[in-house]
Amino acid sequence: MIQPVDMDEQGSARFCRVHDMILDLIISLSTRENFVTILEGSCLVPPELKIRRSSLQGKVLGDQTEIKEEHMMILPATVNMSHARSLVVFGDAVQWMPPLSRFSVLRVLSLMGVPGSVNHHLEDLERLHNLRYLQLGGQLETGVLLGIGKLKLLKTLDVWATSIEQLPASIVELGQLERLLMYKGLKLPDGIGNLTSLQELSVLDADKSPHTLAELGKLTELRVLTIYGLGGNESSSREIILQSLSNLGNLRILQFEDEEGQYSLDLDGMSHQWRAPAHLQCFKGGYVVMSQLPQWFSSLSELSCLSIKVKVLRQADLRLLGALPMLRFLELLGFYGTASEELVVGADQPFRSLVEFKFAHYTRDWLVFTQGVMPKLQRLKLFCSARSRYAGGFDIGLENLACLKHVAVKVIYRGAQIWRTDIVEHMITVAIKLHPNNPTFELSRVHQYNNNVK
């Protein structure tokens, strides 16, 4: 009855869908049980309506935009809000919203696309003592959150889509906070190490909050951590973050972010200083570049998603990665290698769980796939240089990928004549058409490699 529409790198469904008949049933039951009240546009709310979960649908408007009378919602003061557990408000609908003081038992509050002229509507926010989930987005002032430390039961704070530049000091009083979602550029106060219940911290801007790096080691319950801006920090800061990471034994997802082309960060020290989390499931290096693949990767038996860039890629690295039993998604970028060494996938380990593989290399164009390798691989993305592959052919053992459904190849035409690029593309097309599965195929040209294999 419930079907996944798309899967992410870890094998989880991004979206789900249901049959139309099931959808009609869900809507009917929801209406009968008064599960949610959706208010949009010009509508008159009956005063006897008991609202449990409410969604006010509006539009995102500029501060000077006038709201027409026919688009305004009428919410009588007699409407009973005392039972409301959830309130979702979007855009200019915040101007129709009753005072927050009327939501005495509210547990979930989401205000998105809020215009800057209506911040006064949020002045009672700190009085929502039962609040567990708070999501804010729009042109909000820092003062809106000054009393957030009073929301002792808050478990999720999402300010990713706001204009707030700094979180207030009282946030460190939220002892039960489990998820803190921010945008890069937001500054944190001192004392974040007090949030010992925190399980997700994304995105921590190391440039804006360098003092927080040392406090990370106190957040031993962290499952998800995303760090931005490490590439611009001094080596002493990198040592601090490595020391903090060594205490985070419960991590499931670790991600590094930076602006493309800005920094190249070497985290090889992790090989010696970091005790790898035994249950790590996803490692995304972003634009972080390691000198070589760290040996501690071999201990990550639950790793299912890996995106990494290494200066030197060796055959031994492929053996290490191929032995990981749960690896489903692999994005691998190499910069240098021994020209005489041919990289062969599957000669030693088969990548038995891999479903999607993206590969690019600055000095080698292709890997060779041996028989029986990657028995579950469905999606393959490769980069190749027209200049170096013109005389090299495309005999890479593609036919050995028994479950292949889709192939994407980007041809780097920098330094190659157009007719040579055409020949390379023709060889690739012929080789893929000969595959017994007849996989779908995408072929495109780019001028040069970048620091990403997206």
The per-residue DSSP string of 318-362 comes to: HHHHHT-TT--EEEEEEEE--TTPPPEESSS---TT--EEEEEES
User: Is 141 part of a structural domain of the chain?
Assistant: no
Residue where the block lists tokens 């005495």: 104
Helix then strand then coil, % of the chain, to nearest 5? 25, 30, 50
Q: Who contacts 202 (Cβ-Cβ below 8 Å, separation ≥6)?
A: 180, 181, 182, 224, 225, 226, 255
Backbone angles phi, psi at 347, to 5 degrees: -65, -35
User: Is 71 part of a structural domain of the chain?
Assistant: no
Contact 394, 428 (CB under 8 A): yes
User: Is 272 part of a structural domain of the chain?
Assistant: no
Q: Which of 305, 297, 315, 408 is nearest to 364 (CA)?
A: 315
How much is the pLDDT for 207?
86
User: Is 281 part of a structural domain of the chain?
Assistant: no
Whole domain around residue 434: which residue ranges? 310-454
| Total domains, the chain | 2
Contact 313, 361 (CB under 8 A): yes
User: Is 450 part of a structural domain of the chain?
Assistant: yes
| Lowest mean pLDDT across 258-272, 286-300, 333-347 | 258-272
What is the chain's length?
454
Q: Residues 160-189: what's their mean pLDDT?
A: 94
User: Is 329 part of a structural domain of the chain?
Assistant: yes
Burial class (CB in 10 A: 0-12, 13-18, 19+), 271: middle
Q: Is the pLDDT of residue 65 over 50?
A: no
- How would residue 358 be classed by pLDDT, with cut points 50, 70 and 90? very high
User: Is 251 part of a structural domain of the chain?
Assistant: no
Terminal CA-CA length for the chain: 33
Backbone angles phi, psi at 28, to 5 degrees: -60, -45
User: What type of residue is 124?
Assistant: D
Q: Is the pLDDT of residue 102 over 70?
A: yes
Top-ranked range on mean pLDDT: pick from 70-84, 107-121, 125-139: 125-139
Query: Distance between CA atoms of 91 and 328, rounded to whole angstroms?
Result: 39
Query: Distance between CA atoms of 10 and 198, rounded to whole angstroms?
Result: 22
Query: Distance between CA atoms of 380 and 439, rounded to whole angstroms?
Result: 10
Q: How far is CA 114 from the centre of its chain?
A: 24
3-class secondary-structure state, position 124: coil
Percent of the chain scoring above 70 in pLDDT: 80
Token pair of 246 as six digits: 């060594």
Q: Residues 322-350: what's their mean pLDDT?
A: 82
3-class secondary-structure state, position 407: strand
Kindly state the DSSP code that residue 430 receives in the 8-state scheme. Answer: H
* CB count in 10 Å sphere of residue 86: 17
Q: Write out the DSSP string of 13-31.
A: EEEEEE-HHHHHHHHHHHH
* CB count in 10 Å sphere of residue 439: 19
Q: Who contacts 15 (Cβ-Cβ below 8 Å, separation ≥6)?
A: 4, 5, 6
| Lowest mean pLDDT across 129-138, 281-290, 306-315, 407-416 | 407-416
* CB count in 10 Å sphere of residue 12: 10
- Mean pLDDT value across the chain: 82
pTM, to two decimals: 0.85
Token pair of 11 as six digits: 């094998």
Q: Who contacts 4 (Cβ-Cβ below 8 Å, separation ≥6)?
A: 13, 14, 15, 16
Higher pLDDT, residue 34 or 406? 406
Contact 241, 204 (CB under 8 A): no
User: Is 107 part of a structural domain of the chain?
Assistant: no
Rg (CA), the chain: 26
| Lowest mean pLDDT across 91-95, 182-186, 235-239, 432-436 | 235-239
Q: Who contacts 296 (Cβ-Cβ below 8 Å, separation ≥6)?
A: 270, 271, 274, 276
